[in-house]
Structure 1
Amino acid sequence: MKYLRISPDLFINNRKNFVSRLKSNSIAIFNSADEFPRSGDQTFVFKQNADFFYLSGIDQEQSILFLYPDCPNPLYKEVLFLRQTDEHIAVWEGHKYTKDEARETSGITSVYWLQDFDSILHSIINYADNIYLNTNENDRYLHAVPYRDMRFIETLRSKYPLHNYLRSAPIMRDLRVIKSDIEIELTQKACAITNDAFRRVLRFVKPGVTEYEIEAEIIHEFIRQRATGHAYNPIIASGPNANVLHYNDNNQVCRDGDVILFDFGAEYANYNADMSRSIPVNGRFTRRQRDVYNAVLHVMKEATRMIVDGTVWNEYHDEVGKIMTGELIKLGLLDKHDVEKQNPAMPAYKKYFMHGTSHHLGLDVHDIASRYQKFRVGNILTCEPGIYIPKEGLGIRLENNILITQGGNVDLMAAIPVEAGEIEEIMNS
């Protein structure tokens, strides 16, 4: 890992909070993420299972976490199983955790090699009444591939069919949405790296530069500052490309007079930043571009004020839609007649602002959370309104990451330039 060592207190406290919600005499088992094939003899860069990392801090493949707080054998109340390394693995793949390193990272005393998992599990599983197993219950995810957790469930049920099996995901959904101080610091670090990358880009962009050259500047700054890399596939969308919401080609020339829509963020220690900005290729917005830009900025500022403890998700998005509607009328994109005859299920503003305003942020860019719960202290949410006008070859999106605190909210990206004048000033300095 490139990132600096994280205090094991984060993972110790996360495990305490998790096991406090288990039914009595229960076992919970978490698997590391799969290694996915990229070609005949290569795998994709490993990305750890967010729940496994949240509870253990272990950022390595082929690992298992076992939690049994009521275990009659105190040695097995919490156990970490790791892939055993050897000289061959060291030569071909590099360093893997030693048992001592895993103890220091996770705060777990009992660490064994993975080959011991079946025998240790069998020695105690029949003393437990309940078994909590984990799956991906993020409602943005549609299960299609039998990933490691699903395969593990089938295997375990075939061996131990009479236990009471329960879901860990509802507990994790409730825990992960509230960020601890250490998690906030890690997210703030990801935002700070993203800030530096954006400022680097502002000084780099000029007519004739390509989208992929800009992408290269971003990843250079990310890696230079110990980020793992991109939190998600970056969007570098110049001119009409900005109207493709998930544009990832990043292969076009940025032309004089166009605006580039950026959507990128650094991943640091598995925690993510998620930023959107829109800048003029030549360093100066046209009058029309600035008007659209300031309309989006106004909506973002008003929406940010609503991201506080107790806000209701659907009501929030409805209010943002009303503010956006007013701005679109001012821009001449809608008129009052359009609004009067609109279908409430598909408001008129959706023609130009078709995505949601916010999502939760954390170990996943679209972090697991309930959309039916009110916003709470400790939530980190994005705020990302946009206006997309295909006929004008113009798309503007602005996005910051907002932490809800007891006294209101804190913009974790407050240091990143967002005012049109400040962006122009930096680009022309």
Structure 2
Amino acid sequence: MKYQPLNNELFILNRKNFSNRLKPCSIAIFHSNDEFPRNGDQNFIFKQNPDFFYLSGIDQEQSILLIFPDCPNPLYKEVLFLRQTSEHIAIWEGHKYTKEEARAASGIDSICWLSEYETILHTIINYAENVYINTNENDRYSHTVPYRDIRMLETLRVKYPLHNYERSALILRDLRVVKSDVEIEATKKACEITRDGFIRVLKFVKPGVAEYEIEAEITHEFLRQRATGHAYSPILASGKNANCLHYNDNNQVCHDGDVILFDFAAEYANYNADMSRTIPVNGRYTKRQRDVYNAVLRVMRQATQMLVAGTIWNEYHDEVGKIMTGELIGLGLLNKHDVDKQDPKMPLYKKYFMHGTSHHLGLDVHDFASRYKPFEVGNILTCEPGIYIPEEGFAVRIENDILITKNGNVDLMADIPVEADHIEEIMNS
């Protein structure tokens, strides 16, 4: 881990909140993520299961967490199983958690080696009526690979067929979306690192620079500040490339007169930032580029005002669509007469703004949350309107991360340059 460890009070509280929502006489089982093969003898860099990290603070492969509040043996009300290290593993793979380190990171007293898991589970599971299994129920996820929790569920059903099997996801969807102070601070740190990466590239970009060179500058800044790396594959889309929403080839040269749409952010302690900006390659927006940029910025600022507790997801996006429609008419991209006759189910603004305005942010960039529940205090959401004009060969997106508080909201990226004049000033300083 590159990042500084988080206060284990976060994970102690998370487990307490989770346990309080379990049915009586229930055991919950959580597995770390799989290790995925990259080629013949290597794996991809390990990325922890966000639910497992949320409850344990453990950032290591081949780990299992049991939570059994009503366990008759007090040793196993909470127990964490880890891969036992050895001199051989230390030489070939590096340091792994000791029991003492895992205890300090997680706040769990009972730490056992993974080799003891089957025996200990068998001695306690028959005292439980319900077994909670952790399934990936993020509605953006399409289940094609049988991940570890699903595979273990099948094994448990065969071995213990008369238990009731329940879903941990129903509890975690409500818990994870409301961020604690420790989580907010980790997100702020990711935003600060992202800010520094953006300012760095503002001073670096000029005509003739390649998108991949910009990516290298960002990566350097992220890693030197102890970020895990990129929160997601960075988008550095110059010119017409920006009209592809998930463009990440980042292999083209940036030309004089074009703008570059940036969508990149840092991950710190498994918590993610998410930022978009659009800048002129030569340090000066054309009048048309600036007009579109300012239209998007106005939409973002009005949308941000609606990100408060009690806001309903669909109603929010409908209102943003109305604001965007007005801006598109002002830019000459839509005709008011046509808008008045449009099919409400197929609003015309979606030709130029085809994605949603906001998503929840946290351990997942598109964080696990209900899209049918009103926004709450403690939610962190992105605000990211955009205008995409393929026929003019450019696009603009602006995105900040917004924390909802009891007194309104706080822009966690308020110190990242966003005004066109400010961006030009830094680029030409």
Instruction: Return the TM-score normalized by structure 2.
Output: 1.00
1:303 to 2:298 alignment: no
Q: Report the alpha carbon displacement of residue 79 of structure 1 after superposing the two structures with TM.
A: 0.1
Question: In the alignment, which residue of structure 2 is the partner of 1:327?
Answer: 327
Q: Report the alpha carbon displacement of residue 343 of structure 1 after superposing the two structures with TM.
A: 1.6
SS of alignment partner, residue 52 of structure 1: helix
Cα shift readout 1:238-263 (whole Å, capped 9, x = no counterpart): 00000000001000000000000000
- In 2, the alpha carbon distance for the partners of 1:337 and 1:240 equals 29
SS of alignment partner, residue 44 of structure 1: coil
Question: In the alignment, which residue of structure 1 is the partner of 2:175?
Answer: 175
Question: In the alignment, which residue of structure 2 is the partner of 1:117?
Answer: 117
Question: In the alignment, which residue of structure 2 is the partner of 1:104?
Answer: 104
Question: In the alignment, which residue of structure 2 is the partner of 1:220?
Answer: 220
- In 1, the alpha carbon distance for the partners of 2:351 and 2:399 equals 20
- In 2, the alpha carbon distance for the partners of 1:144 and 1:158 equals 22
1:285 to 2:285 alignment: yes
Paired residue type of 2:362 = G
Cα shift readout 1:267-294 (whole Å, capped 9, x = no counterpart): 0000000000000000000000000000
- In 1, the alpha carbon distance for the partners of 2:5 and 2:30 equals 22
- In 2, the alpha carbon distance for the partners of 1:338 and 1:43 equals 54
Q: Report the alpha carbon displacement of residue 340 of structure 1 after superposing the two structures with TM.
A: 1.6
Question: In the alignment, which residue of structure 1 is the partner of 2:403?
Answer: 403
Question: In the alignment, which residue of structure 2 is the partner of 1:151?
Answer: 151
Q: Report the alpha carbon displacement of residue 64 of structure 1 after superposing the two structures with TM.
A: 0.2
Question: In the alignment, which residue of structure 1 is the partner of 2:381?
Answer: 381
- In 1, the alpha carbon distance for the partners of 2:2 and 2:254 equals 32
SS of alignment partner, residue 66 of structure 2: strand
Q: Report the alpha carbon displacement of residue 36 of structure 1 after superposing the two structures with TM.
A: 0.4
- In 1, the alpha carbon distance for the partners of 2:176 and 2:124 equals 29
Paired residue type of 1:261 = L
Question: In the alignment, which residue of structure 2 is the partner of 1:246?
Answer: 246
- In 2, the alpha carbon distance for the partners of 1:156 and 1:111 equals 22
Cα shift readout 1:173-204 (whole Å, capped 9, x = no counterpart): 00000000000000000000000000000000
Question: In the alignment, which residue of structure 2 is the partner of 1:83?
Answer: 83
SS of alignment partner, residue 43 of structure 1: coil
1:231 to 2:231 alignment: yes
- In 2, the alpha carbon distance for the partners of 1:425 and 1:405 equals 33
Instruction: Return the TM-score normalized by structure 1.
Output: 1.00
- In 1, the alpha carbon distance for the partners of 2:287 and 2:160 equals 69
Moved over 6 A (4+): none
- In 2, the alpha carbon distance for the partners of 1:93 and 1:341 equals 64
Question: In the alignment, which residue of structure 1 is the partner of 2:351?
Answer: 351
Paired residue type of 1:331 = L
Question: In the alignment, which residue of structure 2 is the partner of 1:67?
Answer: 67
SS of alignment partner, residue 81 of structure 2: strand
Cα shift readout 1:378-407 (whole Å, capped 9, x = no counterpart): 000000000000011110000000000000
Question: In the alignment, which residue of structure 1 is the partner of 2:366?
Answer: 366
Question: In the alignment, which residue of structure 2 is the partner of 1:273?
Answer: 273
SS of alignment partner, residue 410 of structure 1: strand
- In 1, the alpha carbon distance for the partners of 2:26 and 2:209 equals 58
Moved more, 279-288 or 148-157: 148-157
SS of alignment partner, residue 29 of structure 1: strand
- In 1, the alpha carbon distance for the partners of 2:338 and 2:173 equals 40
* Structure 1 unmatched runs, 5+: none
Q: Report the alpha carbon displacement of residue 87 of structure 1 after superposing the two structures with TM.
A: 1.1
SS of alignment partner, residue 267 of structure 1: strand
1:93 to 2:128 alignment: no
- In 1, the alpha carbon distance for the partners of 2:427 and 2:26 equals 58
Aligned identity (percent) is 78
Q: Report the alpha carbon displacement of residue 341 of structure 1 after superposing the two structures with TM.
A: 2.1
Cα shift readout 1:353-383 (whole Å, capped 9, x = no counterpart): 0000000000000000000000000000000
* Structure 2 unmatched runs, 5+: none
Q: Report the alpha carbon displacement of residue 345 of structure 1 after superposing the two structures with TM.
A: 1.3
Cα shift readout 1:325-369 (whole Å, capped 9, x = no counterpart): 000000000011221221211100000000000000000000000
SS of alignment partner, residue 65 of structure 1: strand
- In 2, the alpha carbon distance for the partners of 1:332 and 1:343 equals 20
- In 2, the alpha carbon distance for the partners of 1:237 and 1:426 equals 20
- In 2, the alpha carbon distance for the partners of 1:167 and 1:58 equals 22
- In 2, the alpha carbon distance for the partners of 1:44 and 1:252 equals 26
Paired residue type of 1:51 = D
1:38 to 2:35 alignment: no
- In 2, the alpha carbon distance for the partners of 1:170 and 1:80 equals 22
